[in-house]
């Protein structure tokens, strides 16, 4: 959730300012879970035979945290800090913290019987708010400044419930706060009144190779996550910490490429973010033309750049990948295999199996591999947007041998001559029946144009995945 200590303490304390824990009964008497319950229970489970008489049994802890658990007040801290606590068993048999001594009028009123008052309770997590030195300091500050506590809670609650909504441009309705918050990953608005062809020509003449240009655009866009709509090319955060230092982005090479693109972006007065995408597009267009197919990639102007101050380095660190199948890179630090990480990466990018397939084949032909490794470059025409990867992967004149962890050789079946090397990510497109069916489709002689068109469509999808103002 990317909450800091203060936000964590505010949420826990604020959450437990209202409500109660439920454990006034015997959980062994509860009915079966929803999936196993009777049809007439209509999806409800854990039917409680003593519900009316004793209330629900959920966590097994029993009691409220504050004297007035239906009121937003500072009672949580008063209760926690003004009493000593000891471990007691709840009626359901769970361990919970109860005050060693408490005045009758400070006890919360029983939820079912207004004539009865019961001991308040604390969980271990609540006790940490007093016993842990860092939480203790934070909570004492909250105790002494209720307004500060309420504001911190409100902000943390807003973050908790909105951080998976993506950038602020996606918010609608009159209650949207005007204040911009750092966790919203703000990006300034970029210019869109310029001639993209002029910029593209300048980039093509800049000396950056097809591989350099494809790589920078890909690394910029690939951080997009369909899960919480963070990351992506808008903002050009690839040129900022922490992304510019990630080993998967080849920092030294990246810095050289970015220097060239930065000078072009300032010459035209446009965002670096747009310039990066135009660099990728110009390279893909050139590579397609080398394959005999002339076309212009779709392009939406108007990306803006973020500054380092607009970037929460700590929270962006969570976007660092452990592998990038599309650049044939694997950090070796994960418990998952490179192929599994490819599926993870692809689902975050919102890609289907055919899209993953055509993207892998295209990226290999464009020579986008990490640090120029040759794994899976099953062609002697690197930089040409050809379907060679699929043709040679599925060619029965070859045989495949494992030679090390995640290392394979592709040799001529007759002569034994070594032709190429490959990773498990490459070979899974031959070994997995579903992926193979797409690989065979793209290997077809009469599908060369379809391969280029499908590659361009998935490329475009990724380059624009975070353009919510247009999508």
How many beta carbons lie within 10 A of that of residue 131, not counting itself?
Answer: 11
Site size for ligand HEM (CB under 6 A)? 15
Taking the CA atoms of residue 409, residue 413, residue 417 and residue 422 in that order, the dihedral angle to the nearest 10 degrees is: -20
363 contributes a contact to ligand HEM by CB under 6 A: no
- Binding track over 24-63 against ligand HEM, x by CB under 6 A: ----------------------------------xx-x--
Using the rule CB under 6 A, is 15 a contact of ligand HEM? yes
Write down the residue that tokens 């990018």 correspond to. 349
133 sits in the region (left: phi over 0; alpha: psi -120 to 50; else beta) called: alpha
Separation CA 136–CA 80 (nearest Å): 10
Helix (H, G, I), strand (E, B) or coil at 304: coil
> Is residue 110 close enough to count as binding ligand HEM by CB under 6 A?
no
Q: Which is nearer to ligand HEM, 18 or 37 (CB)?
A: 18
CB 61, CB 90: distance < 8 Å: yes
Give yes or no for residue 16 binding ligand HEM (CB under 6 A). yes
- Cα 157–Cα 307–Cα 298 angle in degrees, nearest 5: 95
Q: Which secondary structure element, helix H or strand E, spans residue 412, and what is its range?
A: strand 407-412
Block residue for tokens 């709509």: 229
Residue 11 touches ligand HEM, criterion: CB under 6 A: yes
The DSSP bridge partners found for residue 63 are: 21
Could you say whether residue 353 binds ligand HEM (CB under 6 A)?
no
- Residue ranges in 290-319 that form contacts with ligand HEM under rule CB under 6 A: none
Shortest gap between Cβ of 152 and ligand HEM (angstroms)?
12
Block residue for tokens 């280029």: 452
Query: Tokens at residue 369, please?
Result: 């591999």
Q: What is the closest distance, in whole angstroms, from the C-beta atom of residue 187 to ligand HEM in the complex?
A: 29
Alpha-carbon gap, residue 386 to 381, rounded angstroms: 8
Which span (10-18, 43-51, 281-289, 324-332) binds ligand HEM, by CB under 6 A?
10-18
Q: How far is the CB of 74 from ligand HEM (least distance, A)?
A: 16
In this complex, which beta carbon is closest to ligand HEM, that of residue 27 or of residue 322? 27
The verdict on 18 binding ligand HEM (CB under 6 A) reads yes
120 binds ligand HEM (CB under 6 A): no
In the complex, what is the shortest distance from the CB of residue 2 to ligand HEM, in angstroms, rounded to a whole number?
14
**Site residues (vs ligand HEM, CB under 6 A):** 11-12, 14-16, 18-22, 58-59, 61, 123, 125
């Amino acid at each position: 959730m990317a909450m800091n200590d203060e936000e964590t303490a505010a949420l826990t304390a604020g959450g437990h300012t209202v409500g109660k824990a439920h454990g006034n009964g015997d959980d062994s008497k509860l009915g079966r879970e929803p999936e196993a319950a009777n049809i007439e229970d209509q999806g409800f489970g854990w039917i409680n035979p003593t519900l009316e008489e004793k209330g629900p049994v959920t966590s097994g802890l029993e009691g409220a945290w504050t004297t007035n658990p239906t009121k937003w007040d500072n009672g949580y801290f008063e209760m926690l800090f003004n009493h000593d606590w000891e471990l007691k068993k709840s009626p359901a048999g769970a361990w919970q913290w109860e005050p060693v001594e408490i005045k009758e009028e400070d006890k919360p009123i029983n939820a079912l019987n207004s004539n009865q008052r019961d001991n308040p309770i604390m969980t271990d997590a609540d006790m940490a708010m007093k016993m842990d030195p860092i939480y203790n300091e934070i909570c004492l500050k909250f105790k002494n400044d209720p307004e500060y506590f309420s504001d911190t809670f409100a902000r943390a609650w807003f973050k908790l419930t909105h951080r998976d909504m993506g950038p602020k441009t996606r918010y609608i309705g009159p209650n949207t706060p005007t204040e911009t918050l750092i966790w919203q990953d703000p990006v300034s608005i970029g210019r869109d009144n310029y001639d993209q062809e002029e910029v593209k020509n300048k980039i093509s003449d800049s000396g950056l190779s097809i591989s350099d240009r494809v790589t920078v655009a890909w690394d910029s866009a690939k951080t997009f996550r369909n899960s919480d709509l963070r990351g992506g090319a808008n903002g050009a955060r690839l040129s900022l910490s922490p992304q510019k230092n990630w080993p998967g982005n080849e920092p030294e090479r990246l810095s050289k490429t970015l220097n060239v693109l930065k000078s072009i972006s300032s010459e035209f007065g446009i965002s670096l973010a747009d310039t990066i995408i135009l660099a990728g597009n110009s390279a893909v267009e050139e590579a397609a033309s080398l394959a005999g197919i002339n076309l212009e990639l779709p392009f939406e102007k108007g990306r803006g750049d973020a500054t380092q101050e607009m970037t929460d380095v700590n929270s962006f660190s969570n976007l660092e990948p452990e592998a990038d199948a599309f650049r044939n890179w694997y950090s070796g630090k994960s418990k998952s295999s490179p192929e599994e990480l490819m599926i993870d990466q692809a689902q975050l990018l919102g890609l289907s199996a055919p899209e993953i397939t055509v993207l892998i084949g295209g990226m290999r032909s464009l020579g986008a591999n990490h640090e120029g490794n040759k794994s899976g470059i099953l062609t002697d025409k690197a930089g040409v947007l050809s379907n060679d990867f699929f043709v040679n992967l599925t060619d029965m004149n070859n045989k495949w041998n494992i030679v090390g962890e995640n290392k394979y050789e592709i040799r001529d079946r007759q002569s034994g001559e070594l032709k190429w090397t490959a990773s498990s990510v490459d070979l899974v497109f031959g070994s997995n029946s579903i992926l193979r069916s797409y690989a065979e489709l793209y290997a077809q002689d009469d599908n060369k144009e379809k391969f280029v068109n499908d590659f361009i469509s998935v490329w475009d999808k990724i380059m624009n995945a975070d353009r919510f103002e247009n999508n």
